[in-house]
């Protein structure tokens, strides 16, 4: 049963993450699953999670174990600046409703956003200055 409550997530260590294959469905035991890749932890600013992209790992992806029914989501991210690399922050439901933000690697003054609702898509490009 979902409970609506505010939450702030930081990563003082890696204890809030579990690999997706070991996640048992208990969202009180872990807040995030590691779906792909190997995130790294830093001690900067109380703990940052670094998601690494290499030529062989196809990037790193983590997913929340909590549902977000409404509200505001804020994240701080750094993107790569290489051709063919897209940094993305995505919210997605079980039925694939989706809101995402994407930063194309070589277009450092551009962000793109898409949202999908019941099979319909709308895409927008935003130029940053």
Catalytic option among 48, 55, 98, 110: 98
Q: Annotated catalytic, 98?
A: yes
Q: Which residues of 94-118 are buried (b: 16+ CB within 10 A; e: fewer)?
A: eeeeeeebbbbeeeeeebbeeebee
pLDDT digits (tens, 9 = 90+) for 76-115: 888 888 888 888 898 888 887 888 888 988 887 888 888 8
Q: How confident is the model at residue 67 (pLDDT cuts 50, 70, 90)?
A: confident
pLDDT digits (tens, 9 = 90+) for 20-29: 999 999 988 9
Query: Does residue 127 carry a pLDDT above 70?
Result: no
Q: How confident is the model at residue 34 (pLDDT cuts 50, 70, 90)?
A: very high
In angstroms, the CA 93 to CA 122 distance is 17
Q: Annotated catalytic, 102?
A: yes
Catalytic option among 48, 55, 102, 110: 102
Yes or no: say if 51 and 23 are a contact pair by the CB < 8 Å rule: no
| Three-class SS state of 40 | strand
Could you say which DSSP state residue 74 is in? -
How high is the pLDDT of residue 19?
94
Give the start-end residues of each E strand in 5-74. Answer: 17-19, 32-36, 40-42, 48-50, 61-64
Domain ranges of the chain: 8-66, 79-129
pTM (2 decimals)?
0.76
Residue among 60, 54, 59 nearest 14 (CA): 60
């Amino acid at each position: 049963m979902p409970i609506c409550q505010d939450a702030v997530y930081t990563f003082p260590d890696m204890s809030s993450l579990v690999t997706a294959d070991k996640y048992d469905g208990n969202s009180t035991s872990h807040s995030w699953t590691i779906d792909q890749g190997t995130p790294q932890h830093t001690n900067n600013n109380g703990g940052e999670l670094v998601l690494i992209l290499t030529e062989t790992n196809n990037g790193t992806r983590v997913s929340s174990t909590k549902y977000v029914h409404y509200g505001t989501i804020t994240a701080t991210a750094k993107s790569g600046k290489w051709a063919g690399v897209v940094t993305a922050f995505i919210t997605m439901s079980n039925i694939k409703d989706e809101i995402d933000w994407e930063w194309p690697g070589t277009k450092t003054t551009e962000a793109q956003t898409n949202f999908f609702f019941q099979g319909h898509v709308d895409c927008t490009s935003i130029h940053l200055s």
